[in-house]
Structure 1
Amino acid sequence: MRTTTPNSPHISGRWRRVSSAAAATAALLLAGVGTAVHANAAAPATPTPDTKAVAAQVAKAHVRYEKACAATPKKGYAACDALRVTGGTTAFMEKQAALKGVTPKAVTPDAAASDPTGYGPSDLQSAYGLTDAAASSGSGRTVAIVDAYDDPNAEADLATYRSYYGLSACTTANGCFKKVGQTGSTTSLPSADSGWAGEISLDVDMVSAACPNCSILLVEAKSASDANLGTAVNEAVKLGAKYVSNSYGGSESSSDTTYDSSYYNHPGVAITASAGDSGYGAEYPAASKYVTAVGGTTLSTSSSSRGWTESVWRTSSTEGTGSGCSADDAKPSWQTDTGCTKRMIADVSAVADPATGVSVYDTYGADGTGWNTYGGTSASSPLIAAVYALAGTPGSSDYPAQYPYKAAGTSALNDVTSGSNGTCTTSYFCTAGSGYDGPTGWGTPEGVSAFTG
């Protein structure tokens, strides 16, 4: 059983998914969900580009995962956008096995894992052109993570993640890490929740991966209500954070414009928000005109000069990155697409597909089994917040969501041009193409220059 709180919207249903995107390949390679039959069992020590492509398809075809938090939060509440892999093999595992010429071991649900099974800091820095910036930038800059409930093991788990990957210590003692409740107290913390603890571990690990020199401020709301999460955002800004990540969302409502002015309107602060994990459709606070809405991609190695390739993340008709035209929020002045008269989601994107997911270390609760692979736009939001931190302090009157629009069409962003996250009447709302599109915005980072004013 999961550890929950009486008022938590958290549920424990296990979700098993088979990707339709790789159905043709998977039909030949898999006897069924949970059957480990791999195309590259006899792969050479140095895989060809074709082998790499097949490995990514195979992983996507039979990875299984579950939602960390409530699938459908009640009105006025949000759910975290974290997805934990529970079975199958990830793209990272397939890639490592192909390099060694062996068959990868499948993820075992709820069993302690001694080694990472997803992308780590060097992978993510390579994919997004951050290697040089990550090594030299970020010192003295604080990225705030806003989540609901407490993760009692947050600091200890973060220490394990950073130690494994050779990153410098980030602790309360050395001033790099700080955990507070939504009022700023370091002692009066909310009740613990295992689902949100996984989300917290994902968030702090992704900031560490992209910006190892950044300090981390974890602000824990006492519940997943929009009001409490918004209060935590205000507290993060009050405590000096210039970069704030929000890896959660819920349905839009007529109250959103009030929440905008009360919680998310912070000039001079880069606030990011996950676009959602339910496929085509808008959620809040990604729909806020004051935040950078972050979509999700499938990230795989390739033989290109970049060494990586991306497409829109979509696992099924109801699972994939969110996108769309807001029903309630006004369009910001820097957003000029003509098909949506209100706020369009997303602005930019990064990896989110659980099959090409990221390594996370989490030990709290029934699902805190050590090393796990996570996906969801909960991965992409803190990554982008950390990229903003690498890029430098925003202008005091700026809304940093506009920065990528100034770099649109340049080499500062990787334009994602393939894939869709659902069916829509206006093509770019749900389908990738050259230039701006809803699922991936203007694309993914290639260095930091698109995220500076």
Structure 2
Amino acid sequence: MLSACGGGSNPADQVASGTVTMQMDVPTLPSAVAEQVATPFSQSEPSPDAEPVFTPMAAGTNTATYTPAQIRAAYSLPDLPASGTAVTAVKAAQMGAGQTIYIVNAYHNPNAIAELAVFNQKFALPTCATKIIAPTAALPLAAASTNACEFSVVYNTAAGGMTATAPAYNSGWATEIALDVQWAHATAPLARIVLIEAPDASLNSLLGAIKLANSMGPGIVSMSFGAAEGSWTASVDSVFTAPKMTYLAATGDSGMAVSWPSVSPNVLAVGGTTLNYNGTGTRSEVSWSGTGGGISAYSATPSYQSNAVPGMGFTSRRVVADVAFNADPATGQYTAVMTPGSSTVNWMSVGGTSLSTPQWAGLIAIANASRAQASKAALGLPHSALYSQLATVPGTYASTFADITRGSHGTCSTCASKVGYDQLTGLGTPNATSLVNSLTGTNASAAPVVPSAAVSGTVGTALSFTVSVNASNPVTWTLSGGPAGMTISNAGVITWPTPLVGTYGPVITAKDTATGLTGQGTYSVTIAAAKAPTLTATSVIGRPGVALSFAATAVSSNPVTYAISGNPAGMSINTAGLVTWASPALGTYSVTVSAKDTKTGLTGTAVYSVKIANAGPVITSAAINGTVGKALSSSINISDATATSFRISISGVPLGMTFSLSGMNVIASWTKPVAGTYSLKVVVTNNNGLSTQATIPVTIK
């Protein structure tokens, strides 16, 4: 869906008039088809919130309903300038300035201007001045503004003229109009938008709206509706051939199917994907299961759909889609909708190929504006450039499009996405900055690709990381939108000597030194508050007069200094955290060890329990000897005057030997000894943590 321009209304501000005489063929529909009704390709549901709740684009958090800023980031559209910032001619071109987008729809939305204004205010988008185009105004229109958005609404007749009579209201088409206008504007915020409302949804009336757009002059026509194709479609293809005009249409929302007008070889057919983007790194997409597309039953294969296009293969008919964008209602985008007569704004989460189409129209507007900056003509029909100049060059294809290789929209043999072209998403979804640069350049050279990434750091610790880039030639680096103190070197190394707590989104631009093409990537830099060093407390056991040592190891992002307190005389700690006591004295001590971060000054502590006890238990036992088959019994004595309990472990026990306790003795019994030599390992640990062990030989002859 496309967004529209919002802003104030000034009825006295008329579009400049001029007189131009034009002559062209006027296509007409067969009478049996003219009254066929088209369907808007949009799906919507109430937003989960009465007002949009902007989901933080933190790593690992997926957004269910996307804002314009999130969509721009996901598809690498140029960043919008901050409010109040002077906009250069180049930046204005990146926002579609000087271009016109014609939104063709049926019926009337009386709130289109108000809805757009609310949408712009909510998402901090440029406002649009309302321009009145009188029904008697001379056509074509004067050139669009090169530094501001303008929004106009006109009503067409079936013959392609203008009328002062507004069509009737239709709630479904009104929602379609809202999303088309708002998301066209969100994509190309300085482009002029002219909403053309047909008197009804008949193909005859909608064809009249397209004819009116052609008469109004150069621009991009966005059509988010469709009807089943037929043998008649070729008879009206000429309506999509006006000079300096680009035509886009949605492929539909009912899975594998072919519809008009997207089937026309002169129309850029836009399919849909399911978008998954968490604000950092590269977006993830699969083909939306509801997207239209397929092989036409009537239209011949256009020349641009050749075997040279990866994945295209041989086809006897025109195949749609050509390109794609987010369309799944489950990954929808915010749209403001108002009921006639009410000032209440209802926020909808919209989807459908109606959503993807106006955004591609905005992208073409940006490309045309950038081409105008380079003194080049508008793209017109863009198929040849997209298929032949970009998709057939492997490096260029990879940088300008994201090839969608997963998903299906039916059970037919061509209904699954695959590497290269497929009928669900065409060539794929746009990497917008790289695509516009390639369409603007003198050739199909690929712009540098700067993958987005997430970086984390800590306050007080210098941050440094290297930006990656895919480029055919050496690049120069620039950094924008970063925090104070963050810089980038000629080698693409970003440094920040004194990071501050927060999350930042610096934009890194790589410029190809040979072609001048640029690519951008947004890094998510999260600086966490400094943490004190951590120490893990433990218990230490020793014996009187026997030298004791243990290590206190701190976990810290920076070097630390150690200190000790509450320690008995003679106990000390060195710079590595090693605690030593040459001659421990009998007793139990609570010793506090502290570790201080040398950069942040934060300190962590832990209390160690040091127990110095008398000599531990004593094991007394003679060697055990016996004869095969003759029962034996032997006693193992345990003694310790200071202990109150013991834990006894015996290993190396031959099968059949059992043990029992009798006072301070462990009785070993073996009913049927087996010939051999065995070794019992006895370990005794008392309640003070002191232990001893003994090895007792067992010989059976």
* Structure 1 and Structure 2 fold alike (TM over 0.5): yes
Which whole-Å CA distance do the structure 1 matches of 2:79 and 2:47 have between them?
A: 34
Report SS of the residue matched to 2:270: strand
CA distance in 1, matches of 2:59, 2:432: 30
Question: Are 1:194 and 1:365, in contact at CA under 8 Å, matched by a contact in 2?
Answer: no
Distance 1:404 1:304, change over 3 A: farther
- 1:358 paired to 2:305: no
CA–CA separation in structure 2 for the residues paired with 1:180 and 1:375: 25
The yes-or-no answer on 1:431 pairing with 2:408 is: no
Residue in 2 that maps onto 1:333: 303
Counterparts of 2:291 and 2:118, CA distance in 1: 29
Deviations 1:334-356 (A, max 9, x none): 11133421110000000100010
Residue 390 of structure 1: how far off its partner (Å): 0.4
Task: Tell me the distance in 2 between the aligned counterparts of 1:303 and 1:149.
Answer: 37
Per-residue deviation, 1:151: 0.4
Aligned counterpart in structure 1 of residue 37 of structure 2, from 64, 70, 77: 77
User: How far apart, CA to CA, are the structure 1 residues paired with 2:164 and 2:409?
Assistant: 42
SS of residue paired to 1:167:
coil
Deviations 1:53-86 (A, max 9, x none): xxxxxxxxxxxxxxxxxxxx99722100010114
**Structure 2 equivalent of residue 120 of structure 1:** 67
Match of 1:268 among 217, 240, 244: 244
Higher-Rg structure is 2
Tell whether 2:176 aligns with 1:199. yes
The answer (yes or no) to whether the contact 2:246–2:379 under 8 Å persists in 1 is no
Q: What is the match of residue 233 of structure 1?
A: 210
8 Å Cα contact 1:176-1:216 kept in structure 2: yes
CA separation of 1:366 and 1:358: change in aligned 2, threshold 3 A = farther
Contact map agreement 2:222 2:361 (CA 8 A) in 1: yes
**Counterpart contact for 1:321–1:421, Cα < 8 Å:** yes
Instruction: Give the unaligned 5+ runs of structure 1.
Output: 1-72, 105-116, 315-319
Letter in 2 for 1:136: A
Q: Is the 8 A contact 1:147 1:220 kept in 2?
A: yes
Pick the structure with more helix per residue: 1
1:167-226 CA-partner distances (Å, limit 9, x unpaired): 121131587000001245363221111110000000011111111111110001111111
Kindly indicate whether residue 399 of structure 2 is the aligned counterpart of residue 411 of structure 1. yes
Equivalent position of 2:201 in the other structure = 224
**Could you tell me how far apart the structure 2 residues matched to 1:353 and 1:271 are?**
22
1:300 aligns with 2:276: yes
Change (3 A) 1:211 1:201: same
Q: Which runs of 4+ in 1 moved over 4 A?
A: 86-89, 97-102, 365-369, 393-398
In structure 2, distance between residues paired with 1:343 and 1:255: 15
1:328 CA displacement: 1.1
8 Å Cα contact 1:133-1:390 kept in structure 2: no
Q: How does 1:158-169 map to 2 (within 5 A)?
A: 158-169=116-127
Deviation at 1:267, TM superposition (A): 4.2
* Contact 1:79-1:248 at 8 Å conserved across structures: yes
Question: Match of 1:136?
Answer: 92
Indicate whether 1:342 and 2:298 are aligned: no
Give aligned-pair identity as a percent.
Answer: 36
The answer to whether the 8 Å contact 2:60/2:278 transfers is: no
CA 396–374 in structure 1, closer or farther in 2 if over 3 Å, else same:
closer
Query: Which ranges in structure 2 are unaligned for 5 or more consecutive residues?
Result: 1-32, 82-90, 132-147, 307-311, 372-376, 392-396, 441-701
Q: Within 5 Å, give how 1:37-76 maps onto structure 2.
A: 76=36
Distance 1:324 1:172, change over 3 A: same
Shift of residue 414, structure 1, vs aligned partner: 1.1
Question: Does structure 2 retain, via aligned residues, the 8 Å contact 1:432–1:438?
Answer: yes
Q: Deviations over 1:389-448 (max 9, x none)?
A: 0011684684213322121123011111111111113x3xx2111111110111111125
Secondary structure at 1:335's aligned position in 2?
coil
Give the distance between the partners of 1:172 and 1:98, measured in 2 at CA. Answer: 34
Secondary structure, aligned partner of 1:96: coil
Output one character per residue of 1:211-249: Cα deviation in whole Å (capped at 9) or x when no partner: 111111000111111121111012112112411100001
With structure 2 as the length reference, what TM-score do the two structures score? Answer: 0.47
- Which of 99, 103, 109 lines up with 1:151 in the alignment? 109
CA contact (8 A) 1:267 1:396 kept: no
Q: RMSD over aligned Cα, in angstroms?
A: 3.1
CA contact under 8 A between 2:70 and 2:279: conserved in structure 1? no
- 1:327 is paired with a residue of what secondary structure? strand
Number of residues paired by the alignment? 356
The equivalent of 1:444 in structure 2 is: 429
Distance apart, 1:269 and its partner CA: 1.4
Structure number with higher strand proportion: 2
Counterpart selection for 1:286 from 262, 287, 302: 262
